[in-house]
Amino acid sequence: MDISTIIGFVLGITLVCVAIMINASITSFIDMASIAVVVGGTVAAILISFPLGQVFKIASVVKNAVFAKPLNPVEYVAALVKLAEHARRDGILSLESQLQDNNYDDFLARGLRMAIDGQDPAVIEVAMEKEVETIVERHASGKALLDNVAKYAPAFGMIGTLIGLVIMLQNMDDPGALGPSMAVALITTFYGSLIANLFAMPLADKLALRSEQEIAAKLLIIRGVMSIQAGDNPRIVQQKLNAFLDGRQRAEIEKGSEA
């Protein structure tokens, strides 16, 4: 679970509720008609924009943003260097037993099995890069769902406000009702902005970050697998993979090597 996402949601909702309760009550900001316009309109627009099967995946998209385990490239580098040591010492065929005895990343295992099977290096690299391209497309599709929620929710909030203003103007003969009517009209804009700025856009940004981290990890694995397949010295493998790490991560690798 990504604790920062949970903290952000809780903090944002709490601060909004506190700001409301300082001068009003929470119930004054609850209007079912406004919720129906904003939520219902946004859902309708998303259904028009995307295939039904893709829309149903929004739950898993949100789950990936909130609950996905952060990737640690240091662990991948350490695993690949260890595998390079086995391949250098016992031959690349010895890696089959290593894959069976250890719970390695599926992408890493597939790449190594192609190398163990004697596939041409160019074929291995193309196959792994194609899988990365597919992952990029899948991530972009998931992010697009949330981007569109962020786009449509404020728009339907404004539509709800316009509906409320029209109704208010039709009842100008009752001056005492103008204030409450205007408040209800503006609540839809509030709902739309809240959905976009506290839910959809932050989650879309978190998905983009997750995607960047995963793609960087996959590219690191590709470089490692190709280096192992080429029979590089484990130290050379580590030097190649260090290019994917920042200074702190490189220091962590060096510390682990010394230990």
| Residue 176, Cβ density class (10 Å: 0-12 exposed, 13-18 middle, ≥19 buried) | exposed
Residues 54 and 68 in one domain: yes
Q: What is the pLDDT of residues 121-168, one digit of tens each?
A: 999 999 999 999 999 998 898 899 999 999 999 999 999 998 888 888
Q: What is the pLDDT of residues 62-121, one digit of tens each?
A: 887 777 777 788 889 988 999 999 888 888 888 888 888 778 888 999 999 999 988 999
d(C-alpha 177, C-alpha 114), whole Å:
74
Tokens representing 79 are: 């695993």
Residues 239 and 121 in one domain: yes
How far is the CA of 73 from the CAs of 20, 68, 108, 242, 255, in angstroms?
43, 15, 13, 10, 15
d(C-alpha 130, C-alpha 36), whole Å:
43
Residue 233's region, left for phi above 0, alpha for psi from -120 to 50, else beta, is beta
- pTM to 2 decimal places: 0.83
Q: Higher model confidence: residue 70 or residue 230?
A: 230
d(C-alpha 6, C-alpha 231), whole Å:
45
d(C-alpha 195, C-alpha 152), whole Å:
10
Instruction: Give residue 177's Cα distance to chain centre.
Output: 45
Given a contact cutoff of 8 angstroms between Cβ atoms, the answer to whether 43 and 188 are in contact is no
Contacts of 203 (CB under 8 A, 6+ apart): 5, 61, 62, 65, 66, 146
| Residue 33, Cβ density class (10 Å: 0-12 exposed, 13-18 middle, ≥19 buried) | middle
Residues 124 and 101 in one domain: yes
Residues 183 and 208 in one domain: yes
Residues 113 and 142 in one domain: yes
What's the domain count of the chain? 2
d(C-alpha 104, C-alpha 111), whole Å:
11
Residues 88 and 11 in one domain: no
Residues 250 and 191 in one domain: yes
Given a contact cutoff of 8 angstroms between Cβ atoms, the answer to whether 61 and 206 are in contact is no
Residues 73 and 6 in one domain: no
Q: What is the pLDDT of residues 178-219, one digit of tens each?
A: 666 777 778 999 999 999 999 999 999 999 988 898 999 999
Residues 92 and 162 in one domain: yes
Sign of the CA dihedral running 243, 248, 254, 259: negative
d(C-alpha 253, C-alpha 246), whole Å:
11
Residues 18 and 88 in one domain: no
Q: What pLDDT sits at residue 68?
A: 73
pLDDT at 258 over 60: no
**What is the SS3 assignment for 98?**
helix
Domain, as residue range, for 11: 1-30
Q: What pLDDT sits at residue 4?
A: 85
Contacts of 97 (CB under 8 A, 6+ apart): none
Residues 77 and 111 in one domain: yes
Q: What pLDDT sits at residue 123?
A: 93
Residues 17 and 60 in one domain: no
